[in-house]
Each structure stands twice: as structure tokens, then as C-alpha cells.
Amino acid sequence: MCQVKLKLVLFFLSTTLISPRLNSQESIYNPSNEIITSFEKTAEKLIELMTIEEKASQMLSTSKGLPNYGIEMYNWWNEALHGVARSSKATVFPQAIAMAATFDPELIQQTADAISTEARAMHNIFKAKGMRTEYTGLTFWSPNINIFRDPRWGRGHETYGEDPFLTGKIGTAFVYGLQGNHYKYLKVAAGAKHFAVHSGPESRRHSFNTKVSDQDLYETYLPAFKELVNANVEIVMCAYNRLNDEPCCGSGTLLNNLLRKNWGFKGHVVSDCGAIYDIKSNHNYTKSDEESVAYAIKGGVDLNCGSLYNLIPDAIEKGFLLEEELDQSLKRLLVTRMKLGALNKVDDNPYDELNKDDINSKEHIKLARNVASKSIVLLKNENNILPLSKDINRLFITGPNAANVNTLLGNYNGLSSNIVTPLEGITSKVSNGTIIRFNKGVDLIHNNHGRMESSASLAGSSDVTIAIMGISALIEGEQGDAVSSDANGDRSKIALPKNQINYLKALRERSGNKPIILVIKSGSAIDLSEIYDEVDAIIYAWYLGEQGGNAIADVIFGDINPSGKLPITIPESISHLPDYEDYSMNNRTYRFTNYKPMFPFGFGLSYSSFIYSDLVIDNKNGQEGDSIILNFNIRNNSKFSGEEVIQLYIKAMDAPFRTPNSSLKFFERINLQPGEKRNINVLVKNDMLSSINENGDTEIVKGSYKIFIGGSSPGNRSAQLGKPVQEISFEIK
């Protein structure tokens, strides 16, 4: 039908141009070559003065002070997954998976900017007190941009979901916000982890050998890392596992060739903690720890989170490593410290002025509530039972997560004095004329038969029941931290715990026809098939941070119109999933599954009804002769003002190799007033049409294509749930 050339532009014909995407140079830390050259020369002069032992001391996560060279002691380990973590009091923002559910890179950049402001302020305070321990520095090992390929992985809620395109966009925005855009200094250094192809099993992460095809590698597992490298991320953390037989922390294929030579990465690489030790002791890849140290440094690992780099002098003495190879890594580390203005005393760093007034400020608390509200996903709203009236007569609040602080904090979290549970948020929202009763009902995973029966009876005498259920980061998380997990942090089941299912059925029996609102707190997919028909509304509320209770109440009572979208697929059954340890993407995520989902990727309802119509290919406005321009209308067919996330997916129909069912290629949030209709054009660019073949190469195949436009990923299930997707076909000849 038409040959395709390429550019992407979204603009509203009936209004103004949409603001630029967050990949402009104005958003990125990108110092001049002159500044970097100056830093490098200073680093080289320092290295010339050091002994091998002194050099080694600077390549450990706890780096010693070298007063003779003006180098202060520094601890490189800091965390900022969704707020400054494990440090002093800080604003606790929603967990990473919730940030992805906003589908709003601009909002996430603002969030990361607030996080880095608090990080710098804390560092300045700690520095004045002479404190230089873990979690007081400026190098942050966040974000986690691994692909959430399987809902059983316990650390999936640290990620931005299952889609590489969404992960890249949200991750890039987070890096922009953390690192700032000063012409000379990083605000803080962001770290992309875990490179590469790392998503369980937690029990075997120190010895696991990940087997991946070139197609899956370049189609799914690597794109987000490449996008963050393009955004000048300063740190990359290598993963514990092997990739196709080679330990990631020391893989010359991954680090020196792909990351540095092919992608142009300019920062430094840090090992995951203990990963250098794993090379010999768990991977059996080397015969000695000295050889492991040499393997890692030669392969491109500059910083050791651990202690094995103390063996660097021995590795050199035994001939496993050259001092010049050591110098190359150390130079990268010293340059990072100079980019932060943290090596020598400087008087031109604007971030040195940040102080306690910049921590957990009113603006940051408001932002945390906004992110939480925009991340909440409405999955069901039978007969438009929501929003509820604040003047309801009798309200029953129940469930193990109603007053559970853990389900607000997630993991890798900070602490705040402003933590609001759902119980508190809902209670503060209703009128003084509402009778409120609360009973936990059941624990997260344990049966409480006697309490369950007495608690369920309260549903019968209430006008509405709000049941706040789900799991917590004690059930899903990192090995050793998720103490209630039955699989070392992972999940062996994805259904709602059986005791909670039984309790919901008891609530339905006692409440009769009175509404039950189910709020699910989780960082991953929960199979809700057994209780879907037992409740009138379902709200997916993630681990929402300190303002989570207020955000949930805002949505339930209509002060906020829900607009979050699922960054994951929720399957109907665990039986639909491949073997957990199989890293092939076949039958995984919305892009490759053969099964109808319970809730599809990108899905989320609203109190508004958005109608897409009149999708056509319209080249009359084209800037490039034969470019594809999509034209369609979207209308808010309701009485509620609301935000919709427009999503564009593409499928190549005639490729001679496996291609995704569809792939997200573009998304944008828009706000529509009641009854407002808007005409939208999307100009499709070349890389949106490319596919990855079996060799991992990018190509644009000839033949038929389908483009899907709507408020969810395409498929019959989206239409069944009230989010039909428009589609149109075209050809590349």
C-alpha cells in the first residue's frame, strides 16, 4: 500500500502541539568533551602516584581514604528505587512497578528529580557530620530495568514490568531525573541493573546459567539497557548469573564489546554484591579467586561490591592481571567521583546548597500522592458502583492489608513520618455521618476461621464493604528478605492466598447483594479468576508508598479518576506459564503468549468512557511523501473529566521468523473533558516497524502489517472487558 519512512510525531489537530518527549538534550546530563578530558587528566595524574595496593583500595565498594592525594573515604552503595532508601527519613514514593503503571515518563522524571534532591540534601548533611557509611553517598544502584518475564519472580515489583519499550521509556525518565542536567556535575549517579538477562530464580541466582537465543536477547532483554546507555546513565551493575555459560560480571562479550564498544557506554560497571566471589565458588568458572578478580577486571568490572578486589595485588603478582588493565578501571571510577564533585573540594556545584528543607517537603509529599493516584488500575466496576459517596451510611473496612504498612513500603524503601494506610485514608475521606467499622478478618496467608466468620458478619449490616487484600514484600522479594516466601523470595503460586479467597466468599455470602469493593495490594500478577464474580469492583493498588492510603481513598470516592494501566499481563492460571527457569520468550508476556489473559497488558478502566473511532491512514498531512500517518478520533463519552493513555501497537504479519503478537511502540497520556472529542494524528517512523530475526539482527520485512490503537493491548479480552482496540492494515512492498 505504501513504502514507509520514518519519524514519530503526535499532535492534536484541534488543540496545541504535545510537549516534546523526554529524550531532548535539555533533560540529559551530557558534559562537554573538554570537561570530561579535564576529569580524565586529573584521574591519570592521581593514578600515576598510587601504589598497586592504593589503587586496589579504590575499587572496592567501601573505598579507603587516601589523604596524601586528597581522596576521602567513600562508600559507593546507595539505593533509590522509589525514594532514597535505607538512609535517613525520606519521601517514600510508589514502588517501581507502580511508577510503570502511570505510563507517564514526565511524571516519573519529576519523581526521580525529587528523589535526587533529597539524596543530595542527605549527603550534604551526612558530610557535615563526617558520616561516610553505606547509604550516605551519591552513587545509586537504581533503577532495576530487568524484564518481568514471569510473575513468579519475587523481585519483579522492582522493575517497570514486562514490556521492553515501556521499561526503556520509564527507566530513561528516571535516569534523567536522578542525574539532572547540569553542564558539569551529576546531581547523583544512576545505575542500571542487573546486566543482563536476570529475573530469577532467586534460590539459584548465584549459580544460575541463563540460556537465551540471540533473538530473545536483542528483542526483549537488552533494549531497555541500550536506551539507558543512550541517556548517559553513569553506572551499570552486572548480574549474578551466567549468560550463555559466561559469568556476567566479567563477560567481555557483554561489558567490553557490547556495552562499551558497540553502545558507547562511558561510565563505570559495578558488580552485584558478592558476584565476583561467585565466579569461582558458585559458577566454577575459574580455579582461584585471584583468577576471578582478573577475569572481572579484564572483562570490564570496575568496582567490586564485596571484598575480593583486595586480591588485586596478588592477581598482578601471579601474572593474571596487568597494572595497565587495573588503571583503566580505576580511571573510570575516579572520573565518576569528579562528575559528582565528590573527589576534590569544589565551589561551583549548585547541589551543595540543598539541605533538610528539601527532604520530604510538602511538594514531594503531594507528588508522591499524585504518582500513587495515577498508578492505581481499575480492573472491574460492575454497574458503575464506583465512585462511592462520601456520605454513605455504614461502611465496613476489612482485609489483611487495610492497615499493613509493609504493603505501602515494598522493598528497597525509605521511611517517612507521613505513612498513610488505606484504613487511615478511607477513614479521613468519608463524612462525619458515616459509621465505619474495621476488622482485619484474616491474615495474609494463614487461616483464622473463628475471626473470619465473626468479621464477615459485619458485611451483612453495612451498606458497602471495602476488602483490602493481596500479598506483600514479605511474600515476594529478594532472596533472604521475603521471609514469608515459600520459594526463597519467589512465588510458587500466583493465585490470591486461599484463606483470602475463602474470606471473600464468606463476605459475599453475608453481604448478599450489597457491594464489595476489592482492593489488591501486590507488586506482581495475582490470579483473580476464582473471586472475580464475587466482588463488584476490583482496584489494583500496588505498593503505593507513604501516600498510598490517601491515593486509594481518592480513587474510591471519586476525587481522582483512575487512569493507571497494567505494565504486566495477569494470566488466568499459573498453568498458562512456561517452566519458570526457561528464559525463552515463547508463550511469555502479552507479546508472545498463546493464552487469553485474565487482564491484558496496558488494560485499565476509568470512570470516564473513552471511545476510539474513525481510524484511517491519512497521508495528506504527511511531511515525507509516502510516510504513514494515522488519523483517529477519541471522545470522552461520560460526565467525568479523565485521563486516557493512548497506546499504539504494531504487528508484522508476514515475517519468515517469529514476531510478537503485537508490540507497544508508542503511548501518550491525554486529558479529555466530559463530552470532548479530539482528532489525533500519529506519524509512524521506521524503527516502529522493525523486527528482530533469529540472528538478533534488526530488519523491516516486506508484507502486511497491522496497527492497533486504543486504551489497552489488542485482543478479544480487552474488548470483553470494555476496552476495544481499533486496528488497520497496510503493506510494505
Tell me, what's the pLDDT at 628? 86
Last residue of a domain, one of 538, 561, 584: 561
Tell me, what's the pLDDT at 449? 65
- Tell me, yes or no, whether 380 and 504 share the same domain: yes
Q: Are 476 and 524 in contact (CB under 8 A)?
A: yes
- Tell me, yes or no, whether 330 and 460 share the same domain: no
Point out the catalytic residue in the list 104, 113, 150, 272.
272
Tell me, what's the pLDDT at 14? 33
Single-letter amino acid, residue 177: G
- Tell me, yes or no, whether 298 and 405 share the same domain: no
* CA gap 433, 386 in Å, rounded: 19
Tell me, what's the pLDDT at 210? 98
pLDDT digits over 672-724, tens only? 999 999 999 998 988 899 999 999 999 999 999 999 999 999 999 999 999 99
Tell me, what's the pLDDT at 619? 65
Cis check for the bond before 660: say yes or no (omega within 30 of 0): no
- Tell me, yes or no, whether 316 and 380 share the same domain: no
* CA gap 195, 271 in Å, rounded: 10
Residue 628 lies in a domain: yes
Query: Which residues of the chain have a pLDDT value below 70?
Result: 1-26, 449-450, 619-626
Long-range (24+ apart) CB contacts under 8 A made by 446-453 are: 446/499, 447/499, 447/502, 448/499, 452/499, 452/502, 452/503, 452/506, 453/506
Residue 192 lies in a domain: yes
- Tell me, yes or no, whether 575 and 479 share the same domain: no
- Tell me, yes or no, whether 557 and 577 share the same domain: no
- Tell me, yes or no, whether 247 and 374 share the same domain: no
Cis check for the bond before 96: say yes or no (omega within 30 of 0): no
Neighbours of 713 (CB within 10 A): 28
- Tell me, yes or no, whether 339 and 269 share the same domain: yes
Q: Are 572 and 597 in contact (CB under 8 A)?
A: yes
Residue 472 lies in a domain: yes
272 is a catalytic site residue:
yes
Assign residue 725 the CATH number of its domain.
2.60.40.10
Q: State how far Cα 262 lies from the chain centre.
A: 25
Edge-first strand order for the sheet with 191-195 is 191-195, 235-238, 268-271
pLDDT digits over 206-251, tens only? 999 999 999 999 999 999 999 999 999 999 999 999 999 999 999 9
* CA gap 551, 381 in Å, rounded: 18
Edge-first strand order for the sheet with 726-732 is 663-672, 642-652, 703-710, 726-732
Neighbours of 196 (CB within 10 A): 27
Residue 356 lies in a domain: no
Tell me, what's the pLDDT at 436? 97
Assign residue 208 the CATH number of its domain.
3.20.20.300
- Tell me, yes or no, whether 322 and 391 share the same domain: no
- Tell me, yes or no, whether 548 and 598 share the same domain: no
Q: Concatenated DSSP letters for 138-186?
A: SB----B------TT-TTGGGS--S-HHHHHHHHHHHHHHHH---SS--
* CA gap 238, 65 in Å, rounded: 26
State the residue range of the domain holding 580.
Answer: 1-30+569-733
* CA gap 425, 665 in Å, rounded: 37
Residue 357 lies in a domain: no
Last residue of a domain, one of 544, 561, 578: 561
Neighbours of 157 (CB within 10 A): 29
Assign residue 503 the CATH number of its domain.
3.40.50.1700
Residue 443 lies in a domain: yes
- Tell me, yes or no, whether 92 and 25 share the same domain: no
Last residue of a domain, one of 318, 349, 380: 349
Q: What is the chain's mean pLDDT, rounded? A: 93
Residue 1 lies in a domain: yes
Residue 368 lies in a domain: yes
Q: Which residue has the cell 580511571?
A: 331
Tally of structural domains, the chain:
3
- Tell me, yes or no, whether 104 and 237 share the same domain: yes
Tell me, what's the pLDDT at 733? 85
